[in-house]
Structure 1
Amino acid sequence: MASEERILVSVRLRPVNAREAERGDGSDWECTSTTTLMFRGNIPERAMFPASYTYDRVFNPKCSTRQVYEEGAKQVALSVLSGINSSIFAYGQTSSGKTYTMVGITERSMSDIYDYIDKHPEREFVLKFSAMEIYNEAVRDLLRPDATQLRLLDDPEKGTVVEKLTEETLKDKGHLLELLAVCEAQRQIGETSMNEASSRSHQILRLTIESSAKQFMGRGNSSTLLACVNFVDLAGSERASQTQSAGMRLKEGSHINRSLLTLGKVIRQLSKGRNGHIPYRDSKLTRILQSSLGGNARTAIICTMSPAHCHIEQSRNTLLFANCAKNVVTDAKVNVVMSDKVLVKHLQREIARLENELKFHGSAYTSNHADALREKDELIKQLHFIIKPYNDLLNDILIGFLLTGSTK
């Protein structure tokens, strides 16, 4: 059953960096509480924006990434273990600390997920990992060395899917860390006047988790949970005059700003309700993340910003985005897979267990032995009940084939 809740929105204010300090560009912002951010600079004449902003959580420059994760992302990220889709976004201008924040959140989330798995041996987990980037409006697989552009397809059940996107089944945590390193090496970065290693693409890391009880608990209690968590590091919004971009960097910035503009439009429309047209299809970013934006997912957005006076306009735009995002309602639900395939797997496993028990007890006829036999017979009946429709269908196909052959 779906439950309505709003996107969890946090703002992280980074410290003044070396370049800003060299210019004597001090901080214009102050975190007056854990939920309130105040503008302390001189407001330009006729400027129509508030001096105070309130969000679910505000992190001052002294807050660690661990604290940002614990209070602004952890609960949402770990929802995936309960079968609920989730997404964590980092949004903000270039050089505001998005990638730094997302790397820390991703690593801590992955670590906590594996800790949870280790503490729940009664369940069987299958983890799959995929990664992509959107660079100049082209989708690329970060787990493949080539730069082949991938198409987006519309699936009636899954929504927008990326065609031929690699999905690696994880062996262990070490395997995941290796793949994360591959993604980091593959991602498009470039130097601008504001950032020596600016992310020039949107990156989406996706972890899909399927879990089921190892022991058969009856037909009604043997469902499988299936959900995914997205870690989204958006490229930074920027002004060409500030980044002094030209040539390829200018083209990249143009694509980045257009896709972020579409994201802003989608968020603004959703903040007003779901009536009217929502332009998901206007960019590949919003198409891919449609379910995370007001759909079947729990979502957390961490907006990162610079405190420097020279970035006041970009900081204000970031906060306006955050203001809209905190009003967006999502419909997250537990995703339960109840397939015959899963039931057959459970029943076969239980029959094998009972056969081992019978062998262990030997030929001695005990009450436990009799109970095990009865339980095995019941499981076999259930297995036959599930398999029978498939056998009937196969027989019909064979009979039809034979009849067709005999008339030739």
Structure 2
Amino acid sequence: MGAIGGDESVQWDKMNGAEVVNGGGSGAGSLDRIQVLVRVRPLSDKEIARGEPAEWECINDTTIMFRSTFPDRPTAPTAYTFDRVFHSECSTKEVYQEGVKEVALSVVGGINSSVFAYGQTSSGKTFTMTGVTECTVADIYDYINKHEERAFVLKFSAIEIYNEVVRDLLSAENTPLRLWDDAEKGTYVENLTEVILRDWNHLKGLISVCEAQRKTGETFLNEKSSRSHQILKLTVESSAREFLGKDKSTTLVASVVRKTPQFVKFIQSGEKV
């Protein structure tokens, strides 16, 4: 896992039975860094019923081993090294604590961050990112409750990208949205809904709405697989209460972005589908 601009950011990549996390944040005057974490998923019930062996094995905290069971592929074991690897018995809470927490919480200090999961269909992207989101927001609200000297405003937005069409997951309308580049704002989505959060339960309800509106379809591995890219954005604004309404008031604004793309990647052949 790595950070851009001095604060960590995480991306996750899943590779044919293994899940990888990758991310990014930004801060002035710091070196760019990216860290990559891999989480091995357990065999599914269907795979167990078919008697399929596990092809991925964690050798240590940074190395994962691939042993192909296909006769038309090389059978020699291949090792891959990452910043951190997690075996299939690791909980999402453990992955969050050791690989994502510092990145995600940089947002309360005015540092943008990103948590990015990608991998094979049915490798657990949505499952993992849902847990990471819950842990992140819980820690953000815990931080807010412990810092009463600052006033916080949290804003939430969500989009889906499916067949190159951008859609607002918080809107009942199915109207495609347009992307724009602005010298000050950067790249943004026109007319995107942004909701001011009341509390944690309010956010959980909004996330449920987003999940219900996502495009899904049946695959060989999953009867209801997410078929789109999903991007959830939580923006945190904070100001010192003693300076509110005064000229010297300074507001910190940063966003933490959760991305769950629908990628298929086979690292043994280098092929992307």
Same fold? TM cut 0.5? yes
Give the 3 Å change call, closer, same or farther, for CA 45–26 of structure 1 in structure 2. closer
Distance 2:57 2:239 in 1: 47
Higher strand share: 2
Q: Is 2:155 aligned against 1:128?
A: yes
Query: Residue in 1 aligned with 2:237?
Result: 210
Give the 3 Å change call, closer, same or farther, for CA 82–104 of structure 1 in structure 2. same
Q: Is 2:167 aligned against 1:140?
A: yes
Select the residue among 41, 55, 74 that pairs with 2:101: 74
Q: How many residues align?
A: 244
Select the residue among 96, 105, 108 that pairs with 2:123: 96
Select the residue among 205, 208, 211 that pairs with 1:181: 208
Query: Residue in 1 aligned with 2:192?
Result: 165
Distance 2:77 2:185 in 1: 41
Amino acid corresponding to residue 174 of structure 2 in structure 1: A
Counterparts of 1:187-226 in structure 2, within 5 Å, are: 187-216=214-243, 222-226=249-253
Give the 3 Å change call, closer, same or farther, for CA 220–76 of structure 1 in structure 2. farther
Distance 2:227 2:167 in 1: 13
Query: Residue in 2 aligned with 1:235?
Result: 262
Comparing 77-86 and 5-14, the one that deviates more = 5-14
Distance 1:48 1:208 in 2: 47
Give the 3 Å change call, closer, same or farther, for CA 22–167 of structure 1 in structure 2. same
Q: Do the aligned partners of 2:111 and 2:254 also contact (CA within 8 Å) in 1?
A: yes
TM-score for both structures, normalised by structure 1: 0.56
Query: Residue in 1 aligned with 2:18?
Result: none
Select the residue among 38, 44, 69 that pairs with 1:17: 44
Give the 3 Å change call, closer, same or farther, for CA 3–191 of structure 1 in structure 2. same
Distance 1:18 1:116 in 2: 39
Distance 2:74 2:106 in 1: 41
Select the residue among 307, 310, 316 that pairs with 2:268: 316
Q: Is 2:62 aligned against 1:110?
A: no
Amino acid corresponding to residue 49 of structure 2 in structure 1: E
SS of residue in 2 equivalent to 1:229: strand
Distance 1:79 1:126 in 2: 16
SS of residue in 1 equivalent to 2:32: strand
Q: Do the aligned partners of 1:28 and 1:40 also contact (CA within 8 Å) in 2?
A: yes
Give the 3 Å change call, closer, same or farther, for CA 201–44 of structure 1 in structure 2. same
Amino acid corresponding to residue 72 of structure 1 in structure 2: G
Distance 2:67 2:98 in 1: 25
Counterparts of 1:30-41 in structure 2, within 5 Å, are: 30-41=57-68
Select the residue among 154, 167, 170 that pairs with 2:181: 154
% identity of equivalent residues: 57
SS of residue in 2 equivalent to 1:208: strand
Distance 1:211 1:20 in 2: 48
Distance 1:81 1:161 in 2: 21
Distance 1:2 1:49 in 2: 45
Select the residue among 10, 20, 27 that pairs with 2:54: 27
CA positional deviation for 1:94: 0.2
Higher helix share: 1
Query: Residue in 1 aligned with 2:114?
Result: 87
CA positional deviation for 1:160: 0.9
Residue deviations 1:176-219, cap 9 Å, x none?
A: 111111111111111112211111110000000111100139x9
Gaps of 5+ in 2: 1-27
Larger RCO (CA within 8 A; separation ≥ 6): 1
Give the 3 Å change call, closer, same or farther, for CA 139–45 of structure 1 in structure 2. closer
Amino acid corresponding to residue 132 of structure 1 in structure 2: I
Give the 3 Å change call, closer, same or farther, for CA 49–158 of structure 1 in structure 2. farther
Amino acid corresponding to residue 30 of structure 1 in structure 2: E
Distance 2:52 2:191 in 1: 47
TM-score for both structures, normalised by structure 2: 0.83
Amino acid corresponding to residue 133 of structure 2 in structure 1: T
Higher alpha-carbon Rg: 1
SS of residue in 2 equivalent to 1:316: coil
CA positional deviation for 1:315: 4.9
Distance 1:22 1:72 in 2: 33
